[in-house]
Structure 1
Amino acid sequence: MEDWSLPGAPEISVRFRRSSRARRMSLRVSRLDGRVTLTLPRWAPEAQARDFLEQKAGWVRGQLAGRPAEIVPRFGGRLPVEGIEREICPAAGRKVVFSGGRIEVPGPEEAVPGRLAGALKVLARERLAAASNEYAARLGRPYNRLTLRDTRSRWGSCSSAGALMYSWRLILAPPEVLRYVAAHEVAHLRQMDHSPAFWAVVAELEPGYARPRAWLREHGTALHRYRFA
């Protein structure tokens, strides 16, 4: 079955997915990117799926209307970096510079999103490596490697082989939020589950982790509003 469009203004693209585990049809609107997914049981005919989608058209549009607007960084716009709202300004030179309440970006405006993304990833790696190194040293548990991705479903992970992965968008959040995620993932080097023993390790590394954890739950989705490509 090909993806289908929900007619109207604007037209909405809908992704169809069949699942052997689904017992009924269900609709999901992603809070991160607005993608609409209709999941069907293997047995459901296409005509029934289309009828179901048309019946739910009002609900889908309501969900999309409630999403924050996407933001593409441009000169004169603002972007949070380490929790501080900064103005994006044109600049000479070759490097992006984070200076107080400004982000100085060289080159033409159409290059701003890509150049910002590159500079943010460099800064994110620097901050996350520093925090991970600190916590791993305190636990006496070295990690294997550190990678950055633009993940949607999680802010970080730690494999059984000690490989750490983080979302580079954490650099947009306040520093204590980034450090909490680093403490969370490094804690898995000692305790791979999310048992009380695991949270005791997190508290050992970051005693005040509850506050940044709550911030991420409340505001984390907004970090995905920014589009760099």
Structure 2
Amino acid sequence: MLHRKRSTREITKVDVQIGAGSIPLVIYRELRNNWRIAITQRTVNLRIPLIDSADQPGDPVEWGINWIKQKFASDPHIFNRFFLKAPVNGKTYKTLFGEFTLKLLPVDRTGTTGHVVGQDLIVKCPRSWSEAERADVLPKMVSKLLARTLHDDFLKKIMEFNDRYYQFVVYGLSFKYNKSNWGSCSHDGNLTFSTRLFLAPEPVVDYVIIHELAHLKHHNHSKAFWDLVASAMPDYRRCTRWLKENGDALYY
């Protein structure tokens, strides 16, 4: 019987102090020939070979820390996700469809519930929660409440663009508090958008909608796809540039 050799992996975790916060660096030693570093949603991952070599860039921990510090000095906004604080009572969220205010009601129980009254996002959360627990759960609750409230307005905007430019068949609309992309289109015609998009300027929202509508015809990023996007929004590149430069700041 043929047995495949399993990759061996060693993991080292380091918290890199940046100002009053920290960025988690995770170093993976694995079966590979080169070094690769990448920023993920929760960590900075450095992947290196199992065996050190004479021509490697240096000590992995020291090299990873220096890379993070240099990157932070030149482009700090890409690390915004690591310094998010829990939403506070009275925080306002300016969306394309109106401004909403968070009303936090601490309660002596477990679990959290929320509903919308007018322009108020009313959330009941445990009084005993730590800052970390609030930072983890409250943005998701705000996202959920806004998705429920703004669904019909967002759908109307989608259909207006579709009727004006494409006349494709849209089968469904859903939202996720998605941090990896701004939207997606399934092969059966369902569109999904990140709720973070609610916080973006109107031209950027328009661009992402047009982008996903174009995917109803071209499920790729070919020249034909981009030509279809440009037919509805000739200056779409300024919106892609805005998202690249400012997208990391759009969080609840």
Common fold, TM-score beyond 0.5?
yes
Contact 2:16–2:65 (8 Å) recurs in 1: no
Contact 2:121–2:142 (8 Å) recurs in 1: no
Name the CA shift for 1:200/1:144 in 2 (closer, same or farther; >3 Å): same
Residue 180 of structure 1 aligns with which residue? 207
Name the CA shift for 1:112/1:58 in 2 (closer, same or farther; >3 Å): closer
Name the CA shift for 1:76/1:162 in 2 (closer, same or farther; >3 Å): closer
Give the TM-score normalised by the residue count of structure 1. Answer: 0.71
Contact 2:173–2:192 (8 Å) recurs in 1: yes
Highest relative contact order (Cα 8 Å, sep 6+), 1 or 2? 1
Give the TM-score normalised by the residue count of structure 2. Answer: 0.65
Asked if 1:221 corresponds to 2:248, the answer is yes
Alpha-carbon separation, structure 2, partners of 1:124 and 1:217 = 25
Residue 24 of structure 1 aligns with which residue? 34
Asked if 1:38 corresponds to 2:46, the answer is yes
Asked if 1:189 corresponds to 2:216, the answer is yes
- Runs of 5+ in structure 1 lacking a partner? none
Give the aligned residue type for 2:34. R
Asked if 1:105 corresponds to 2:122, the answer is yes
Alpha-carbon separation, structure 2, partners of 1:96 and 1:50 = 54
- Runs of 5+ in structure 2 lacking a partner? 1-8, 106-113, 128-133
Alpha-carbon separation, structure 1, partners of 2:178 and 2:28 = 21
Residue 4 of structure 2 aligns with which residue? none
Give the aligned residue type for 2:122. V
Q: How far did 1:172 drift?
A: 1.4
Alpha-carbon separation, structure 2, partners of 1:34 and 1:116 = 20
Instruction: Give matches, 1:145-184, under 5 Å.
Output: 145-184=172-211
Contact 2:143–2:195 (8 Å) recurs in 1: no
Number of aligned residues: 215
| 1:95 match: secondary structure | strand
Residue 59 of structure 1 aligns with which residue? 67
Give the aligned residue type for 2:36. S
Give the aligned residue type for 1:73. P
How well do the aligned residues superpose, as a CA RMSD in angstroms?
3.7
Q: How far did 1:124 drift?
A: 4.7
Q: How far did 1:132 drift?
A: 2.8
Residue 89 of structure 2 aligns with which residue? 75
Q: How far did 1:85 drift?
A: 7.0
Alpha-carbon separation, structure 2, partners of 1:26 and 1:84 = 43
| 2:13 match: secondary structure | strand
Residue 5 of structure 2 aligns with which residue? none
Give the aligned residue type for 1:4. T
| 1:215 match: secondary structure | helix
Identical aligned residues as a percent: 28
Name the CA shift for 1:141/1:169 in 2 (closer, same or farther; >3 Å): same
